[in-house]
Structure formats: structure tokens, C-alpha cells
Amino acid sequence: MAKKICRNCGEEFEPGRSPEDNRCQYHPQKAEHMGTSDMHHDYSEVYKYPCCGQLEFPQYLTGESAPGCVIGLHEE
């Protein structure tokens, strides 16, 4: 079966596979810019997810965003 892109997390998945294989984790709301941190944190840009309050500092990420607060199944 052809792979699809999940509308929630953006990952590729194969529809029809077991729930264990199609688990999805995402934030239902986009992070909002909160400002810039102080000099002790290198004046980093700070973002906050309104859905759960989790903070994110994009310049410290290594390719992946903060883990999502909602766990479910991939959706087309």
C-alpha cells in the first residue's frame, strides 16, 4: 500500500497497518512566539505551545520539534 503523510505530525505512514505501527504524537496548536530569553540563555527565541504550555527553543533543536502533547493514530 502507498505511504501517506499524516496531517497531524507530518510523518510518512502506511494506512491499514496496526495501531502500534501508526502511532502519532503532535501538538494540536502551533507554537506562539513569546519573546527572547536573557543573556544566560544566549538571547534565544522562545516559543510556547498554547495547547499544553510546553516551551520550545528552536535554535537548540537537532532537527525535531518538541514532543507533542497529543498521542493518537496517523490521519490522512
Domain that holds residue 8: 4-73
pLDDT grade for 56, boundaries at 50, 70 and 90: confident
SS3 41: helix
Mean pLDDT of 50-67: 77
pTM (whole model) above 0.95? no
Count of domains forming the chain:
1
| pLDDT tens-digit readout, 6-27 | 999 889 999 888 888 889 999 9
Distance from C-alpha of 65 to C-alpha of 73, rounded to nearest angstrom = 18
Residue 64 has pLDDT above 70, yes or no: no
